[in-house]
Amino acid sequence: MPVRKYRSVMLIDDNEIDNLINQKMIESASITEHIYVHTGARSAIEFLRNIEKLDVADVVLPDLIFLDIDMPLMDGFQFLDEFEKLGGNTKKKCRIIMLTSSINPQDFNRSKKYLSVKQYLNKPLTHESILALNL
C-alpha cells in the first residue's frame, strides 16, 4: 500500500455526483486518510472557521481543498475571499486546487490572484491528475 501524501483533503462542490466521483477517485489513489465533503462553500468555510478555534486544528485541517467555482449562495471566489480572512496557520496548511468545469480564461487568471490557490484543474478529476499532485 502506498504511503499517503496527505492526512486529509476536502471537496467543495454543489454537485453531489461530482463529489461522489471525486471522492471515489481520491480513495482509489490512496493519497489520504480522510476526505471531508461539502456541497456548499458556506458550510465549508464555517467548518474551517470552527476547526481553526480548536487545539486539534493542525491535525483536522485539510492539507488540500478541491474547490469548484460555480456554486449557488457562495461561489468559489467568494469562498477564497473568506478563506483569506482566516488565520495564518490555516492558510499555510490548506492548499487549494480549483477543480472546475469552467474553461473561461478569466476564471483561470482570477484564481492566480489568490496565493492559497496552488493549482487549477479541469473536471473530471482523474487518477493521473491525483497522482501528479505535488503540493
pLDDT tens for residues 79-103? Answer: 999 999 999 999 999 999 999 998 8
Domains of the chain: 6-131 (3.40.50.2300)
Residue identified by cell 496527505 is: 6
pLDDT tens digits, the chain, 135 residues: what are they? 456 789 999 999 999 999 999 999 999 999 999 999 999 999 999 999 999 988 888 889 999 999 999 999 999 999 999 999 999 999 999 999 999 998 899 999 999 999 999 999 999 899 999 999 988
pLDDT of residue 1: 47
C-alpha cell at 128: 493521473
Residues 6+ apart with CB under 8 A from 66: 9, 10, 11, 12, 13, 22, 97, 99, 121, 125
Q: What is the pLDDT of residue 57?
A: 86
> What's the confidence (pLDDT) of residue 112?
95
